[in-house]
Structure 1
Amino acid sequence: MSDWSSQRERSTRSAVRLILWIALHLGRAPARTLLYPITAYFLLKARPQRRASRRFLTRVLGRPARMTEVARHIHCFAATILDRVYLLAGRRELLDIHLHQPELVTDRVAAGQGFLLLGSHLGSFELLRALAIEEARMPLKILMYPAHNPVITELLHALNPTIAGSVISLDSPKPLLAVKESLDAGYAVGLLGDRRMPDEPAVICDFLGRRASFPSGPLSLAALTGVPVILPFGIYRGGNRYDVYFERFAERVELDRHDRARRESQLQDWVRRYADRLAHHARAAPFNWFNFYDFWEDEDAVSQA
């Protein structure tokens, strides 16, 4: 499996600024026409991402992926980034967003109960973040490494400065203390569970018929905090349509505190359960898979990393 964190960002500040200007001053339709040359550029120039897209689509579709499908995959990703601009600019009326089981979130917010939103790179997790800020209905903090994709991150933060204040940086001195304080204050804390950093503890799971490495840290954090865990999936349907699904994953992730072997076994079970739900949604919406790197382990990989 390749290291996703080592992939360089291909965007430049001038290019992103131009796209933002067109999006905000000329409108969504002209901005969406830019998605086609952007797709063509990445299809021609971004060989690792193109190869990873084709491998994933071949696996999830059960047949060799066509180049037109790889192009559709890249276009889908670019479209969600563009729509993030409109959400952060307070232009939600341009998008048709359907929420499924929102009460899983809103009931907890109304009760002042902190919880974890364990997301992924399937669909637009940033859609949830932008909705939370734009509507101010869900107090939300995001646990992340802000240094990844710095150009896009910086310019989107400039578009809506509120979003920068919603970040709990994993590079900060005491991120776990900040998480606990946020949960105690009734915030939802969002984090992603499908990518691990080099040397991060992981669990090898069967994922779409082949072994893949998932970080164990997010579910260890869930066990440590003892708060409910909700899975969100912001699925792009094409055009201006999105379906946002919320799933109850666990009221509490419990791990044995005394028996280390039993604890590790329980943690592996929880991570594999998460991987199973991710696989379910990946099959249902394959062009929403936004992990553009070699996701699976080599065939001779060890069973535990």
Structure 2
Amino acid sequence: MKQQWLDRPEAGSPFGYRLISTFALLCGRTAARLVLFPITAFFLAKRGPERRASREYLQLALGRKVRLLDVAKQFYTFAAVILDRVFLLSERFKRFDIRVHGLDELRAQWEKKQGVLVLGSHLGSFDALRVLAEFRRDVKVRVVLDVEQNPALTRILNALNPELARSIINARQDGAVTALAIKEALDEAALVTLLVDRARPGNQVTIADFLGRPAPFPTGPWQIAAALKVPVVLCFGLYRGGNRYDLYFEVFAETLRVERADREASLNAIVQRFADRLAHYTRGAPYNWFNFYDFWQLNSHSDSGGPARDVPARPGVERGSE
């Protein structure tokens, strides 16, 4: 399976990221957001593959003919969320109206004094999860992240929050090492967060219906959750425009079970449940989708829409989140 998102160049230079983040912190969010319009226009003109992927996705999500304005709105939403990472990671939460839904469900899990896997996707802002620091500063959050996927942006954001940077579990390292780091964090009763909608070449995948078409999803995170017998909570941070975000938590499973007698069918059912929840939130906030590649790309072996497997490059956790 070729993953086009790995092959595309990083959308921006180190100098550009540094300039915009510095300008945002010095001049404020309102002034910085004015810069998003020329940035959106530039990438709308220059990033042909992303533009085509946006049209294909929006056709499914909106269920109507897609206009160039729709693509521009999706690009702008992405740029706005990236800008807001500067403020969210520097813990300037008062600039935002973040409405948290399902916090009691998450609280019920972490109050058991055990680790919790918090799974998300490239839908909206996973950084909105940082607002939890306002509710419980004693809760440790560990982020599983591919720090080498967007190195320039990652360096800038890490400089804004060195403590968070030190807590990152690098998903690019050996799979067994990553899995062990996740287990150790969960044993310390941490919230371990990772994005589970993208698979890398060599990852095991299964095919699930998403927005009416079959798409590949990684199975590694679900296998780890089942093996470690920890609660799994889904998280979706949706940007609603202006300064508003809606942060949704919902318990996916208190203990995830993969039946040994029918392991493949169990994994397929689990992943389909996740794909259904992802589709639900995607339809509610269609311009928040930030997978700018052919998400539904499939090899010929998956034409029937049934399960598919790539041979793992190495055992362990699904690698790659950003």
Task: State whether TM-score is above 0.5.
Answer: yes
Map of 2:97 onto structure 1 = 96
User: What code does the residue aligned with 1:244 have?
Assistant: L
C-alpha deviation, 1:220, in angstroms = 0.7
Does the 8 Å CA contact 2:89/2:127 hold for their aligned counterparts? no
Q: Does 1:83 align with 2:80?
A: no
1:56 paired with 2:64, answer: no
Matched, 1:120 2:121: yes
Q: Following the alignment from structure 1 to structure 2, what is the Cα–Cα distance between the partners of residues 138 and 293? A: 35
Structure 1 stretches of 4+ moved >4 Å: 132-135, 298-301
1:246 and 2:249 matched: yes
2:277 maps to 1:277: yes
1:137 deviation in Å?
4.9
Q: Whole-Å Cα distance in 2 between the matches of residues 7 and 166 of structure 1?
A: 27
* Match 1:208 to one of 195, 206, 211: 211
SS in 2 for 1:55: helix
Structure 2 residue runs of 5 or longer lacking an equivalent are: 310-322
1-structure distance, mates of 2:297, 2:45: 26
CA contact (8 A) 2:3 2:201 kept: no
- Is it true that 1:168 corresponds to 2:156 in the alignment? no
In 2, Cα distance between equivalents of 1:268 and 1:8: 33
CA offsets per residue over residues 197-253 of structure 1, 9 Å max, x none?
Answer: 012110011111111000011111111111010000000000000000001111111
Q: What is aligned with 1:231?
A: 234
TM-score, with structure 1 as normaliser? 0.94
Q: Secondary structure at the match of 1:238?
A: coil
Q: Is the 8 A contact 2:121 2:195 kept in 1?
A: yes
For residues 123-142 of structure 1, the aligned pairs below 5 Å read: 123-128=124-129, 130-132=130-132, 136-142=137-143
8 A Cα contact 1:192 1:218, kept in partner: no
- Structure 2 distance, partners of 1:228, 1:56, is 31
Q: Deviations over 1:167-224 (max 9, x none)?
A: 1112335111111111111101111110000121100111111110000111111111
Q: CA RMSD in A?
A: 1.6
Q: Secondary structure at the match of 2:240?
A: strand
Question: Mind listing any 5+ residue stretches in structure 1 that lack a counterpart?
Answer: none
Return the alpha-carbon distance in structure 2 between the equivalents of residues 248 and 134 of structure 1.
Answer: 21
**Cα pair 1:208 1:279 within 8 Å, conserved:** yes
* CA offsets 1:31-78 (integer angstroms, 9 cap, x no match): 000110110111001111111111111111111211111111011111
Alpha-carbon distance in 2 for matches of 1:9, 1:235: 23
Quickly say closer, same or farther: Cα 1:251–1:110, change in 2 above 3 A.
closer
> Structure 1 CA distance, aligned partners of 2:218 and 2:96?
33
**Shift in Å, 1:299:** 8.5
Q: Cα distance, 1:134 vs. partner?
A: 6.7
Between the aligned partners of 1:254 and 1:215, the Cα distance in structure 2 is 17
The one-letter amino acid of 1:29's match is T
Compare 142-151 and 166-175 and name the one that shifted more: 166-175
Query: 1:191 aligns to what?
Result: 194
Counterparts of 2:53 and 2:208, CA distance in 1: 19
Residues 133-171 of structure 1, C-alpha deviations (whole Å, 9 max, x = no match):
576353111122211111111110011101211211123
231-240 vs 177-186, which moves further: 177-186
Aligned-residue identity in percent:
46
Q: TM-score, normalised by structure 2?
A: 0.89
The AA in structure 2 aligned to 1:113 is Q
Structure-2 change in CA distance of 1:300 and 1:209 (3 Å): farther
2:292 is paired with a residue of what secondary structure? coil
